[in-house]
A and B are shown apart, each in its own frame.
Chain A
Amino acid sequence: MVGYLIQRLLGVALTLLVAAALIFFLLDVLPGDPARFMLGINASDESLAALRQQLGLDQPAIIRFGQWLTGLMTGDLGMSASQRAPIAELILDRMQLSLPLAFGALILSTLIGLPLGIFAAQHQGKPGDAGLMGLAQIGIAIPNFWFAMLLVVVFAVTLKWLPPGGFVPWAENPSAAFRALILPTIALALPQAAILARVMRTSLVDVARQDFIRTARAKGLSKSQALWRHGVRNALLPVLTIMGLQFAFLIAGTIIVENVFYLPGLGRLTFTAISARDLFVVRSALLVLVGLVVIIMFLVDLLYALVDPRLKKRATP
């Protein structure tokens, strides 16, 4: 198991390095000079050159890449030109919103999606199944920005139960911060829950046809006992894979949802930094997003090895 962990961690590190290189060099070939952007169109060539030197932009790309990597390790990512604040601080600040949002949505979609999928599989072919899967189909088809606006109209504007947008830092008012995240989390989670419900149902229906379920029933278990005790865990394996992949979409979804709810999160930071051509912020924020996804994938792999003894066998001597 330890060996498996080390192997996977090496994989994580390598993925991050490749992602960092891709982000850095892709942004580097984009047109636009950060120094000119900071100083404005009328800046003199001398001051431009001076700033470029100060920012290290006159050095070769590979050196700047190395500097950025060291910065990532030490937490010194430089200053944001558009926000006039240290980039590391900006990102950490925004994470306190985006992390709870993404993980909250992940947990909520699991809590909704899996039980519904199991229920549908147990009632396969019956009205409950058809109804749920119909709803799931709609859930998948609805774009989440539209769903987010619908939530705002109903729960914030009409019913006035929850704030329509904005965010109060946790430190100032935890309950207000929590309330501010409820609608965005739901907006983000429901389409994912719909996908999970479908995947869970299909997977469990597949497993229910397998021989070991028949064996379990031959032991004297009822159909639903056999499904719960032997089916669900086996059916979870493909679902876990999908959950890992979905997290990337959740992260992408935060950018949209944060904009709809006017939340100062990592997604919005990236979005505004792109509009402001603040490439230093963009590359670091992007890498943090990639890092989140990679870490989740890593956790999924670990979970896989925990759930499925066949993998452990292959991975450990």
Chain B
Amino acid sequence: MSLAKLEQLTVRFGDREVLSRLDLEIQPGAQVGLVGESGSGKSLTALTLMNLLPERAEVSGEIGFSFDQRTKIDAAQLGEDLNFPYRGAQIGMVFQEPMTALNPLMRTGDQIGEVLALHRPENNTKAHIEALLAEVDLPAHMRTRYPHELSGGQRQRVGLAMALAGEPALLIADEPTSALDMITQRGVIDLIKRIARERKMALLFISHDLGAVAALCDQIYVLEKGKLVEHGPSQAILQSPQQAYTKRLVAAAKPTPRPAFTRTKSATPLLQVNGLTRQFRQRRWLWQRPSPVTAVDAATFELHAGETLGLVGPSGCGKTSLSRMIAGLDPAQAGEVHFDGHRFGHKQGSMPRAARREISMVFQDPFGSFDPRMRMRDALFEPLHLMPELSAEQRQERVTEAIERVGLSTDMLGRYPHAFSGGQRQRLAIARAMVLKPKLMILDEPVSALDVSIRGDVLALLHDLQEKFGMAYLFISHDLDVVRTVTDRVMVMNHGQIVERGKVDDVFDRPQAEITKKLLDARLTILG
């Protein structure tokens, strides 16, 4: 008999159907993966099981639980008024956002204790809270910490301890590791796996990442735009997917053989970075001497025209700080940059204008990197103020060319950023970087926020652009598989230092530095 069962579940917001006739079944102790891209309805499925759907949702279908006894709920009755005793008790849930999912004003121990007080009052003791923390591999003194004092991975573990406190028979984890870096992600996934086994707890694991699902689950449901595409045992789905959509997802998740992302090398490097150092000064008191924190420690490397150089490392290793200095966005404390005959160094604003227009940046977040009150047209024209010599027609040509190159059309340009999808926005960000026809493009996690199926398209686009215009790329990513696919050479950073560098195959096949080995070990592939 199944522990939880959804029958013909349909969720509508107004006339938009976001989940259509979904059937889903979770057996006791089973590990079920729910896979899909953004907007596929996977989070709504979880919220339905928790009776936490937004009030304006119109729901139909049936939900069955068999925890202490068998119950059947008409989904139309879901809502605040329904007597729903399972939330937090028989069903625990972990959410995606480690930064915001915990109350910032409350000690972690109290937040865990709250669940105990609600569902297991006899267990609401210091000892039991510490035991829960120990179960998620956190030391007992974390009990008295506030969320801001913890790292992302630690917060996610606290969230897990909270979900476990009610001793649930079913744990729902909604993208619990998507916001974490690779190494931390691996730790949390291994932890969830171990706890689910030890507690004989059923798991509904929601993710866009097939690798993570493959590592955890024995059954997979694939959702696309609110509809169930395919479901079955993990092995079967991953090895012989039946539906075109699943095949695409599986293909996108497998490390693909490298396309020819290689070009001719010039004798003199386009970019030469010498001993570039970035320090932040932290001062506790007005009268204290600030103690410097080194984010980037004497980085030295070169990059040739038309080349793609990968930059990888765990979060906080200094990748982004380094790239921002090269782009002239942040001042350096020491060192200098030679770029295309220009030299600039450790003074803010010392970057010559002529160099500025030869370097463009594409950022990770396609939502945050556009001004929401600026029409796309204006956003794309804006960089052209660096080229005052262009006439109005030439500007128009530049923008038209850029927009067509990224596969969009100019009649969309009157819209505001919110009217575009994530993938479209990232294309527009690339177009914005392109209008100047730069010699170097810095790509800071350009595909990390995108769904896997779109990722391939954007990478292919970057590849085409490089073929046509011969730009050099500095490609920053935490995703080693992507880096391997697109780069020639790679550098590995840790604690502000470049600890390893070389041909991408050499580095990944024969890693020398400890951190490289760790990063490679943390990968979750559907082959492994």
Binding site for B on A (CB under 8 A): 3, 7, 210-212, 214-223, 229-230, 233-234, 307-310, 313, 317
Contacts and interface: CB of A to CB of B under 8 A. Distances in A.
Nearest to A316: B284
Contacts of B148: 309-310, 313
A229 to B, nearest CB: 7
Contacts of B103: 212, 215-216, 230, 234
A222 B88 CA distance: 11
21 contacts: A3-B285, A212-B101, A212-B103, A214-B101, A215-B95, A215-B159, A216-B103, A216-B114, A217-B87, A218-B88, A218-B92, A218-B163, A219-B114, A219-B115, A219-B118, A220-B88, A220-B119, A308-B104, A308-B105, A309-B148, A313-B148
B74 interface: no
Contacts of A218: 50, 52, 87-88, 92-93, 95, 163
B175 to A, nearest CB: 12
B88 A211 contact: no
B146 A313 contact: yes
Contacts of A214: 52, 95, 101
B99 to A, nearest CB: 8
A214 B101 CA distance: 8
Given A214-B101, A218-B163, 5 more contacts: A215-B95, A218-B93, A219-B87, A229-B114, A313-B149
Contacts of B97: 211
Nearest to B165: A219
A310 B148 CA distance: 7
Which residue, of A215, A216, A223, has the highest number of chain B Cβ atoms within 10 A?
A215
B473 to A, nearest CB: 35
A223 B52 CA distance: 10
A211 B159 CA distance: 12
B102 interface: yes
A7 B162 contact: no
B102 A212 contact: yes
B285 A7 contact: yes
Nearest to A233: B105
A229 B285 CA distance: 34
A139 to B, nearest CB: 29
Which residue, of B114, B149, B286, has the highest number of chain A Cβ atoms within 10 A?
B114
B512 interface: no
B303 interface: no
B467 interface: no
Nearest to B148: A310
Nearest to A212: B103
A215 B162 contact: yes
Nearest to A315: B284
Interface residues of B, number: 32
Contacts of A310: 104, 146, 148
B505 interface: no
A227 to B, nearest CB: 12
Contacts of A317: 284
Interface in B76-134: 80, 85, 87-89, 92-93, 95, 97, 100-106, 114-115, 118-119
Contact of A309 (B102, B105, B118, B285): B105
B166 interface: yes
Contact of B87 (A7, A220, A309, A313): A220
B162 A219 contact: yes
Contacts of B50: 218
A310 B147 CA distance: 9
A141 to B, nearest CB: 30
Nearest to B146: A309
Interface in B282-302: 284-286
Contacts of B149: 313
A219 B93 CA distance: 8
Interface string B163-176: 10010000000000
B105 A220 contact: no
B100 A219 contact: no
Contacts of A221: 88, 114, 118
Kindly list the 7 A-B residue pairs having the minimum CB-CB distance in the complex, ordered from nearest.
A220-B88, A211-B100, A219-B88, A309-B146, A218-B93, A212-B103, A211-B101
Contacts of A313: 146, 148-149
A309 to B, nearest CB: 4
Given A210-B100, A211-B100, A215-B159, A7 B286 contact: yes
Nearest to B287: A7
Contact of A234 (B88, B105, B159, B162): B105
Which residue, of A7, A210, A214, A221, has the highest number of chain B Cβ atoms within 10 A?
A214
A66 to B, nearest CB: 27
A157 to B, nearest CB: 48
A88 to B, nearest CB: 34
A317 to B, nearest CB: 6
Contacts of B85: 220
Contacts of A230: 103, 106
B479 to A, nearest CB: 25
A220 B101 contact: no
A211 B102 CA distance: 8
Nearest to B86: A220
Which residue, of A229, A309, A313, A317, has the highest number of chain B Cβ atoms within 10 A?
A309
Given A212-B104, A313-B146, A220 B118 contact: yes
A281 B88 CA distance: 65
A242 B496 CA distance: 42
B118 A307 contact: no
A215 B115 contact: no
Interface in B386-413: none
A220 B100 CA distance: 18
Nearest to A6: B285
Given A234-B105, A309-B146, A310-B146, A222 B100 contact: no
Contacts of B163: 218
Contacts of A223: 80
Given A214-B95, A234-B104, A220 B285 contact: no
